């Protein structure tokens, strides 16, 4: 159980017995050494201003793996042509990349984030990613499909480690009522990276090259490796506050009056388990659509692979726009409603894409990408709401669910080889259908809990300029109460 992180989680009595640092202390501590996941750091009540810089730095990581993901889909079609492999076999690329997510988050990367904290998990993930990028050089030289799969597995290991830390960090770094909004905005830049990758692939990396030429791949990933290692150095010196499970346990208790929070063992966190299943099926379906988008466009509209790549870039552009649109909607609507609306759109247009031919079919599949936009980050944040001291371990399970991307592309490609790409969209449809049940569950069973976190003012300033939920704010409230009574507060009352 040590490897899976149970012994790194605090007990509630342990949380309440500690001295509570302020959010200013959380920002002043550089935390270049590992931080105990059982200890309070003061980061449970960070304000928007305090969280802007660290969130901006971590958002760069989202752009980075968005670029890698977008490039992967173009490389998939490139390998099919260059190496003469079937659509089902090319799904091995997705299998290698997303298979790493099944192994990393529940084991080594999940353990790193709980044992050493977010900073060192960022650095570890970047270094693993850089090694994987370097491995593309010999793979391209020897034109080895197995080598490419191995390189992608290492890249996936690095990115899964980054996601194990980056997603919960964004969700917890700042006022809890803005959790969904923060992750949606940061993931929007991941979508921008996904847009840029196919454009650069078709216009720069593979322009004026023979269909069987893979030499540009090695230079592309060599540049990525250099940038990634440089970014690891930046994160060593960056002011990254550490948000521990103890901090999240304290924050959950502070919100209990609004949410009805009660500390429970992880085995009874049913919303988390449903979220893991929904995320597994959703990501698998999303990757299945993305992996076959270019070939679907070629079949549907009778266009070239280059033109199909351009259509895919348009679809990814709609995906990025959808994320910004969803983030805007979350400022005026409850995130659980936004998730239900977007998943409904996904279901409608994936069905339409199976029956509509020509450019109309491509348009339907592009609209699927638009409505997919907010699903992953919203499932993530809503699933970890109220986990308290189990937040990091629960987050690693949600990230592990990304491994669904290893299963669905091969199945979709297998159907496409025998029945065509339009009929093959029935495979993602099944995954989307399972994921569609999750927002229905949230809106019927978990509404009070989720809305309570939406209403909390923790991390916002009161009339005296103090952050609500911070120890300084609690001390001020205790002092005012006792001033009215004409007595001094006790040490225990000042602490809590």
SS3 461: strand
Structure tokens at 34: 């590992």
Residues of the chain above pLDDT 90, percent: 43
Of 118-127, 156-165, 458-467, least confident by mean pLDDT is 458-467
Residues 6+ apart with CB under 8 A from 114: 5, 8, 9, 37, 245, 392, 393
Look at 335 and 87; give whichever has higher pLDDT.
335
Per-residue pLDDT of 290-305, as tens digits, reads 888 988 999 999 998 8
pLDDT at 78: 66
DSSP code string of 159-176: HHHHHHHHHHHHHHSS-G
Per-residue pLDDT of 482-492, as tens digits, reads 455 555 555 54
Q: Could you tell me where the DSSP H helices lie in 302-334?
A: 305-329
Mean pLDDT over residues 320-346, rounded? 95
Please, are residues 323 and 374 in contact by the beta-carbon 8 Å criterion?
yes
Q: Select the highest-mean-pLDDT range: 35-44, 67-76, 347-356.
A: 347-356
Indicate the pLDDT class of residue 346, thresholds 50, 70 and 90: very high
pLDDT at 365: 95
Question: How far apart are alpha carbons 303 and 308 in whole angstroms?
Answer: 7
Side-chain half-sphere of 219: how many Cα atoms within 13 Å?
8
Residues 6+ apart with CB under 8 A from 462: 468, 473
Mean pLDDT over residues 262-273, rounded? 93
| Angle at the Cα of 303 from the Cα atoms of 300 and 304, rounded to 5 degrees | 130
pLDDT at 123: 92
User: How far from the centroid of its chain's Cα atoms is residue 175's Cα?
Assistant: 19
Indicate the pLDDT class of residue 356, thresholds 50, 70 and 90: very high
Of 385, 398, 375, the residue nearest 456 (C-alpha): 385
pLDDT at 36: 83
Question: How far apart are alpha carbons 357 and 73 in whole angstroms?
Answer: 22
| Angle at the Cα of 26 from the Cα atoms of 21 and 27, rounded to 5 degrees | 145
Please, are residues 431 and 288 in contact by the beta-carbon 8 Å criterion?
yes
What's the mean pLDDT when you consider all of the chain?
85
pLDDT at 140: 72
pLDDT at 33: 61
Residues 6+ apart with CB under 8 A from 249: 10, 12, 15, 263, 388, 389
Mean pLDDT over residues 251-276, rounded? 92
Residues of the chain above pLDDT 70, percent: 85
CA dihedral 331→51→227→313, nearest 10 degrees, is 0
Per-residue pLDDT of 163-177, as tens digits, reads 899 999 999 999 999
Of 184-193, 262-271, 318-327, 473-482, least confident by mean pLDDT is 473-482
Mean pLDDT over residues 341-370, rounded? 95
Question: Full-prediction pTM beyond 0.85?
Answer: yes
pLDDT at 351: 96
CA dihedral 463→468→474→477, nearest 10 degrees, is 30
pLDDT at 496: 47
Q: Which phi and psi (to 5°) does residue 458 adopt?
A: -60, 130
Cβ-in-10-Å burial (0-12, 13-18, 19+) of 487 comes to exposed
pLDDT at 279: 97
Radius of gyration of the chain (CA): 23
| CB atoms closer than 10 angstroms to residue 208 | 5
User: How far from the centroid of its chain's Cα atoms is residue 288's Cα?
Assistant: 18
Q: Select the highest-mean-pLDDT range: 68-77, 330-339, 409-418, 483-492.
A: 330-339
Please, are residues 65 and 402 in contact by the beta-carbon 8 Å criterion?
no
Of 234, 409, 444, 471, the residue nearest 337 (C-alpha): 444
Look at 148 and 128; give whichever has higher pLDDT.
128
Mean pLDDT over residues 53-62, rounded? 87
pLDDT at 369: 95
Per-residue pLDDT of 439-460, as tens digits, reads 999 999 999 999 998 899 998 8
**209 pLDDT higher than 70:** no
Of 15-24, 199-208, 349-358, least confident by mean pLDDT is 199-208
Please, are residues 242 and 437 in contact by the beta-carbon 8 Å criterion?
no
Strand locations in 117-158 (E): none
pLDDT at 5: 53
Structure tokens at 284: 């698998």
Question: How far apart are alpha carbons 397 and 291 in whole angstroms?
Answer: 24
Cβ-in-10-Å burial (0-12, 13-18, 19+) of 92 comes to buried
Per-residue pLDDT of 64-110, as tens digits, reads 777 876 676 666 566 666 666 666 666 677 778 888 998 999 999 99
**1 pLDDT higher than 50:** no
pLDDT at 317: 87
**147 pLDDT higher than 90:** no
Of 381, 392, 352, the residue nearest 368 (C-alpha): 352
Strand locations in 206-277 (E): none
Please, are residues 182 and 166 in contact by the beta-carbon 8 Å criterion?
no
**354 pLDDT higher than 90:** yes
Of 61-65, 253-257, 276-280, least confident by mean pLDDT is 61-65
pLDDT at 26: 80
Please, are residues 477 and 471 in contact by the beta-carbon 8 Å criterion?
no
């Amino acid at each position: 159980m040590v490897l899976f992180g149970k012994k790194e989680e605090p007990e509630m009595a342990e949380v309440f017995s500690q001295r509570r640092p302020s959010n200013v202390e959380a920002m002043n501590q550089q935390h270049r050494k590992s931080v105990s996941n059982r200890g309070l750091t003061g980061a449970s009540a960070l304000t928007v201003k305090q969280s802007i810089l660290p969130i901006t730095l971590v958002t760069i990581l989202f752009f980075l793996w968005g670029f890698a993901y977008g490039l992967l889909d173009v490389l998939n079609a490139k390998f099919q042509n260059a190496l003469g492999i079937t659509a089902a076999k090319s799904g091995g690329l997705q299998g290698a990349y997303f298979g790493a997510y099944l192994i990393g988050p529940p084991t080594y990367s999940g353990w790193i984030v709980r044992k050493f904290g977010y900073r060192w998990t960022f650095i570890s993930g970047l270094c693993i990613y850089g090694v994987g990028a370097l491995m593309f050089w010999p793979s391209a030289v020897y034109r080895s499909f197995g080598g490419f799969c191995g390189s992608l597995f290492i890249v996936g290991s690095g990115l899964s480690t980054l996601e194990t830390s980056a997603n919960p960090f964004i969700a917890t770094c700042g006022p809890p009522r803005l959790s969904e909004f923060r992750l949606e905005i940061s993931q929007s830049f991941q979508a921008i990276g996904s847009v840029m990758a196919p454009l650069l692939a078709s216009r720069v990396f593979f322009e004026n090259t023979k269909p069987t030429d893979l030499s540009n791949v090695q230079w592309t990933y060599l540049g990525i490796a250099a940038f990634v290692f440089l970014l690891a150095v930046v994160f060593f010196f960056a002011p990254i506050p550490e948000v521990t499970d103890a901090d999240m346990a304290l924050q959950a208790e502070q919100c209990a009056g609004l949410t009805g929070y009660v500390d429970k063992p992880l085995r009874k966190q049913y919303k988390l388990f449903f979220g893991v299943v929904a995320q597994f099926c959703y990501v698998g379906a999303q990757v299945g659509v993305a992996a076959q988008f270019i070939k679907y466009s070629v079949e549907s509209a009778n266009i070239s692979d280059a033109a199909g790549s351009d259509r895919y870039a348009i679809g990814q552009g709609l995906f990025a726009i959808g994320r910004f649109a969803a983030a805007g909607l979350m400022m005026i609507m409850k995130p659980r409603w936004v998730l239900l609306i977007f998943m409904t759109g996904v279901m409608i247009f994936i069905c339409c894409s199976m029956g509509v031919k020509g450019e109309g079919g491509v348009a339907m599949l592009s609209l699927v990408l638009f409505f997919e936009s907010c699903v992953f980050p919203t499932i993530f944040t809503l699933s970890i709401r109220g986990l308290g001291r189990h937040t990091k371990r629960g987050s690693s399970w949600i990230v592990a669910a990304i491994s669904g991307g290893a299963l669905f592309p091969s199945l979709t490609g297998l159907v496409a080889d025998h029945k065509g790409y339009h009929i093959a969209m029935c495979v993602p449809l099944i995954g989307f259908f399972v994921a569609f049940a999750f927002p229905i569950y949230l809106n019927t069973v978990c509404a009070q809990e989720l809305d309570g976190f939406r209403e909390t003012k923790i991390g916002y300033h009161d009339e005296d300029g103090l952050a609500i939920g911070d120890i300084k704010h609690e001390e001020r409230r205790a002092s005012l109460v006792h001033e009215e009574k004409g007595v001094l507060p006790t040490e225990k009352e000042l602490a809590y």
